[in-house]
């Protein structure tokens, strides 16, 4: 595990963007696992800026997003489809047929989960998986549980997750209660994982995830088993690491 700490949001975003861009420059046909939420917004902004400078192309890249809410219309401003269009896809040359987000509106969610896993398998292997970290240790929407599920599945969002995501909606009652998420098995199969965490409110969970016992009560702790994990933290999120 390689942990790097940054004293400014700007430097952290730049470092994360450089890892993503470096992956595309060295592997033009890269398969990227992408994340949503507050953390990656500034990272995608950097990626878009460098793309617009002509430094690289997404033409041959394939992307798979971690998750999507269940039963939130695709064009709702808080759907992860909208998020990805707003923050990344609308600004780059990634062909629409090469970006994948689970369909949270599928009538048969089990079939959709199988279809999503099959398309990940077909793409070979995720070269670089970008991850944020939930306050309860979730990665993607894999919430703390007695057992974690390997592949894409429907998940009931934890109360803490609903509270954290309420900031994006008019009220907590508007936050969808379920999501489709890539499983921990798929996340751990990525060749390289880039975990990015910001904020003093995440300092405790960063410590638990990276230094605590490996337990399904803190899904991110399983990342400790990954052979190629890069962790980028701002100095406040790193506050509890000695
Ligand atoms: P955040 O979410 O980036 O909005 O803090 C991270 C997560 O829940 O994975």
Cβ-based neighbours of 168, under 8 Å, separated by 6 or more: 78, 175
Answer left, alpha or beta for residue 128, where phi above 0 means left and psi between -120 and 50 means alpha.
Answer: beta
pLDDT at 104 over 90: yes
CA of 38 to the centre of ligand 1 (A): 6
Pick the catalytic residue from 81, 87, 138, 226.
138
pTM of the full predicted structure? 0.97
- Could you tell me if 9 and 200 are in contact, meaning their C-beta atoms sit under 8 angstroms apart? no
- Could you tell me if 218 and 204 are in contact, meaning their C-beta atoms sit under 8 angstroms apart? no
Confidence of residue 7 (pLDDT cuts 50, 70, 90): very high
Can you tell me which residue has the tokens 């592997």? 27
Pick the catalytic residue from 46, 65, 67, 226.
67
CA of 173 to the centre of ligand 1 (A): 19
Spatial distance between the Cα atoms of 205 and 211, rounded to a whole number of angstroms = 10
CA of 105 to the centre of ligand 1 (A): 22
Confidence of residue 242 (pLDDT cuts 50, 70, 90): confident
Closest approach atom of ligand 1 to CA 36 = 3
In the numeric block, which tokens belong to residue 11? Answer: 């430097």
Nearest CA to ligand 1 atom 7: 134
Whether residue 136 lies in the annotated active site: yes
pLDDT, tens digit, for every residue of 187-213? 999 999 999 999 999 999 999 999 999
In the numeric block, which tokens belong to residue 51? Answer: 């793309």
CA of 140 to the centre of ligand 1 (A): 9
Spatial distance between the Cα atoms of 177 and 22, rounded to a whole number of angstroms = 36
Query: Ligand 1 pocket: which residues have CB below 6 Å?
Result: 37-39, 132-134
Nearest CA to ligand 1 atom 8: 134
pLDDT for 219: 98
Compute, in degrees rounded to 10, the torsion defined by CA atoms 189, 20, 155, 164: 140
């Amino acid at each position: 595990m390689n942990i790097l700490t940054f004293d400014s949001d700007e430097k952290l975003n730049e470092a994360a963007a450089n890892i993503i861009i470096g992956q595309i420059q060295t592997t033009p046909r890269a398969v990227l696992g992408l994340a949503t939420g507050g953390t990656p917004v500034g990272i995608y902004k950097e990626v878009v800026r460098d793309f617009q400078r002509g430094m690289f192309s997404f033409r041959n890249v394939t992307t798979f997003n971690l998750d999507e809410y269940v039963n939130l219309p695709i064009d709702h401003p808080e759907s992860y489809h909208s998020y990805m269009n707003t923050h990344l896809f609308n600004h780059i040359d990634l062909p629409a047929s090469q970006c994948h987000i689970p369909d949270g509106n599928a009538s048969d969610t089990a079939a959709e989960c199988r279809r999503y896993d099959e398309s990940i398998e077909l793409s070979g292997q995720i070269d670089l998986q970008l991850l944020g970290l939930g306050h309860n240790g979730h990665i993607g929407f894999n919430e703390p549980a007695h057992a974690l599920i390997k592949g894409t599945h429907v998940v009931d969002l934890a109360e803490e997750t609903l509270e954290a995501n309420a900031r994006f909606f008019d009220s907590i009652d508007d936050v969808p209660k379920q999501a489709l998420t890539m499983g921990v098995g798929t996340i751990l199969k990525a060749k390289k994982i880039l975990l990015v965490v910001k904020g003093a409110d995440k300092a405790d969970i960063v410590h638990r995830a990276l230094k605590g016992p490996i337990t399904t009560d803190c899904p991110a702790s399983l990342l400790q088993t990954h052979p190629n994990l890069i962790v980028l933290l701002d100095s406040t999120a790193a506050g509890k690491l000695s």
